[in-house]
Amino acid sequence: MNEETPISNNDISEVDKLKKERQEYLEGWQRARAELINYKKGEAERAETIMRFGNERLLRDVVTVMDSFDLSIASLEASGKDPVMLRGVLMTRTQLEHVLKEHGLESIKSIGKEFNPVEHEVLMEIESDKSPGTVIEEVERGWKLYDKVIRPARVKVAKGK
């Protein structure tokens, strides 16, 4: 049998140093792995958001076209001159609404509801026998893309007495 070589203090500190270093490297590696996995998850989420909200800007603009439809219908209804034309424009608007709905866009119901800044933006207060804070009139329709309000309904609200 060989004589056992005594372990010097130097060796011990060297071992400690290496252990510490190994731990550091392992942790660094784990962190890097974790970061990659988390990044992938985040990326998947971002891709999902882009899928859902990628056309948000486009839809925001389309909504202003819908305003013009609403106004032209109101104008045709008021004049009562051209019922055939009115029917055509009404149908076109329904068609457009249908397309927008397919893409996750829906208008916000506001009239008769209590004013809620999550969905409404108040433009003025008017005298009314309704309880104060009730939405009396919708000046411009509001729109939601899935759960996100992309334009609040612009409304007139009952004034407190």
Partner 1 sequence: MAKILGIDLGTTNSAMAIIEGGAPRIIENVEGNRTTPSIVALSKANERFVGTLGKRQSITNPKNTIFSVKRLIGRKFSDSVVQQDKKWLPYDIRQSESGGVDIKMGDRWYTPEEISAMVLAKLKADAEAKLGEKIEEAVITVPAYFDDSQRQATKNAGEIAGLKVRRILNEPTAAALAYGLDKSKNEKIVVYDFGGGTFDVSVLEVGDNTVEVKATGGDTHLGGDDFDKKINEYLATEYKKAEGMDVSRDPLALQRLKEAAERAKHELSTAFETEINIPYISSDASGPKHFLMKLSRSKLEELVRSEVDRSVMLTEKTIKEAGFKMNEIDEVILVGGQTRMPAIQDAVKKLFQKDPHRGINPDEVVAIGAAVQAGILQGDVKDVLLLDVTPLTLSIETLGGIATPMIPKNTTVPTAKSQVFSTASDNQPSVEIHVLQGERQMASDNKTLARFILDGIPPAPRGVPQVEVSFDIDANGILSVSAKDKASGKSQSVKIEASTSLSKEEIERLKNEAMQHADEDNKKRELIEARNQAENLVYVAEKSLKEAEGKISAELHQSVTGKVNDLKQVKDKDDVALIKNAIEGLSEELQKIGASLYNKDKGAEGEKTEEKKEN
User: Which C-beta is closer to partner 1: that of 90 or that of 149?
Assistant: 149
Query: Measured from the CB of residue 8, what is the shortest distance to partner 1 in angstroms?
Result: 28
| Sole binder of partner 1 in the list 110, 141, 143, 154 (CB under 8 A) | 154
131 is an interface residue for partner 1 by CB under 8 A: no
Render the chain in DSSP notation, one character per residue.
Answer: -PPPPPPPHHHHHHHHHHHHHHHHHHHHHHHHHHHHHHHHHHHHHHHHHHHHHTTHHHHHHHHHHHHHHHHHHHHHHHH-S-HHHHHHHHHHHHHHHHHHHHTTEEEEP-TTSBP-TTTEEEEEEE--SSPTTBEEEEEE-EEEETTEEEEPEEEEEEPP-
Residues at the interface with partner 1 (CB under 8 A): 24-25, 27-28, 31-32, 35, 39, 42, 53, 61, 64, 67-68, 71-72, 74-75, 79, 115, 117-118, 120-125, 132-133, 139-140, 148-149, 152, 154, 157, 160
